[in-house]
Chain A
């Protein structure tokens, strides 16, 4: 409660402070302003990426047209990992600086991250059937993606099981950080355990081994996934902010329409 009162006394125009937008009261309108550009970017990039991927990119020499699921599969797998890192980052920030908004942000990110992990697994299974002849193989990356999905589920289940939001935030933050420490260990252990997956097609150190239109399509889809994640996370964090701060003056003013967000 104290940090929202503190920032309320500060002039809203003094946006130089790093913590100016750390208060739900000041972040709510900013999130609202960022919401529409994110949605528009997500839709535009998705359309451009899908068009490039499905109509412009050439058919793969060995896998035929079934490879085209890569334009959904790979961005989803990337995002599932990025979102977990972002979640753990906000949890760490929340624990260090004791800012409520950081915890709200990480709980807003979790369902989207779990969704990406699920999409990556699902599209991977659909892709595996025509190329490997099986929906599921206990290969390193699939197994660690599955464990990542369980880590998301654990975080969300723990938060849902605790009624007190303050305790839920902190307990969730702890397990998210412990999970983030474990993610590389899990990845390498599983990789060592079994490796059957094809090698990584895109790497930062080597030149890409795929046609440039394919790469363009995939990068467009990856950016679309970023934009979608940001848009959904902002929407969800706005909902969480209003729900958690419902007893405060600024939410009451918002509800009665005195100030427009």
Chain B
């Protein structure tokens, strides 16, 4: 089981490395969306630092949403997905490996780029650290929930808008806990509970989402 996990992850990382531009597109989207906000709401540093964590989180949600719908697409197109469904190895483990690879390729770069955006939005070093830490814990949950949406909408017409409608309501608690941490810190409250809840969400998603996603893939390829 660990063997299949590692080999699927290695394969996905290798495939992504050979088409590096896909990964950069998502990152570019993240940077571009966050850079548009000051143009829209005005460049006052006070206001920007106030909305910074919310903007970063919403941009991360949208970036995940845009890229996650391609998670199973190429596997379905070349027949790999059918082989995965027929495999004796548990499908949920294969899905989990794919999600892990996906997160390393899109979620982790967002976390790494986040301090740059925090700089643009005039956050203090402490606030930057908290914002990045919430993204680090929260973005795997985004990827896991996104994988359920991606497998449900696999091969459907209007997939992009549909996956948004399915997954965005489920993202609401993460957005609240994630973006709220910086506000709580600024208000002088503890941020421990925010991190505990983000961690709890991650653990629940880790247990449920691979199974749900595997079930959805079986339904889609029935």
* A93 within 8 Å of B (CB atoms): no
Q: How large is the interface on A (under 10, 10 to 19, 20 to 34, 35 or more residues)?
A: 20 to 34
Contact A190 B172 (CB under 8 A): yes
> In whole angstroms, how far apart are the Cα atoms of A193 and B176 in the complex?
7
Contact B173 A182 (CB under 8 A): yes
Nearest-neighbor residue (CB-CB) of A95 within chain B: B215
Contact A161 B216 (CB under 8 A): no
Contact A186 B219 (CB under 8 A): no
Q: Which residues of B contact A170 (CB under 8 A)?
A: 219, 222
Which parts of B202-222 form the interface with A (CB within 8 Å)?
Answer: 208, 212, 215-216, 219-220, 222
Q: Which residues of B contact A147 (CB under 8 A)?
A: 169, 172
Contact B173 A157 (CB under 8 A): no
Contact A154 B166 (CB under 8 A): yes
Contact A175 B152 (CB under 8 A): yes
Contact for B169 among A162, A167, A186, A192, CB less than 8 A: A186
Q: Which residues of A contact B162 (CB under 8 A)?
A: 154, 157-158, 161
* B105 within 8 Å of A (CB atoms): no
Contact A157 B165 (CB under 8 A): yes
Q: How large is the interface on B (under 10, 10 to 19, 20 to 34, 35 or more residues)?
A: 20 to 34
* A151 within 8 Å of B (CB atoms): yes
* B156 within 8 Å of A (CB atoms): yes
Contact B222 A185 (CB under 8 A): no
B208 to chain A, nearest CB (A): 7
Contact for A174 among B158, B173, B215, CB less than 8 A: B215
Q: Which residues of B contact A162 (CB under 8 A)?
A: 156
* B148 within 8 Å of A (CB atoms): yes
> In whole angstroms, how far apart are the Cα atoms of A157 and B172 in the complex?
19
Contact A182 B220 (CB under 8 A): no
Contact A174 B177 (CB under 8 A): no
When each residue 69-112 of chain A gets 1 if its CB lies under 8 Å from chain B and 0 otherwise, what string results? Answer: 00000000000000000000000000000000000000000000
Q: Which residues of B contact A166 (CB under 8 A)?
A: 222
> In whole angstroms, how far apart are the Cα atoms of A190 and B215 in the complex?
29
> In whole angstroms, how far apart are the Cα atoms of A71 and B215 in the complex?
42
Asked whether A158 and B173 contact (CB < 8 A) given A167-B219, A174-B215, the answer is no
Contact for A189 among B148, B176, B216, B222, CB less than 8 A: B176
> In whole angstroms, how far apart are the Cα atoms of A27 and B201 in the complex?
41
A216 to chain B, nearest CB (A): 36
Q: Which residues of A contact B148 (CB under 8 A)?
A: 174-175, 178
Which parts of A139-184 form the interface with B (CB within 8 Å)?
Answer: 147, 150-151, 153-154, 157-158, 161-162, 164, 166-167, 170-171, 174-175, 178-179, 181-182
Q: Which residues of B contact A (CB under 8 A)?
A: 148, 152-153, 156-158, 162, 165-166, 168-170, 172-173, 176-177, 180, 197, 201, 208, 212, 215-216, 219-220, 222
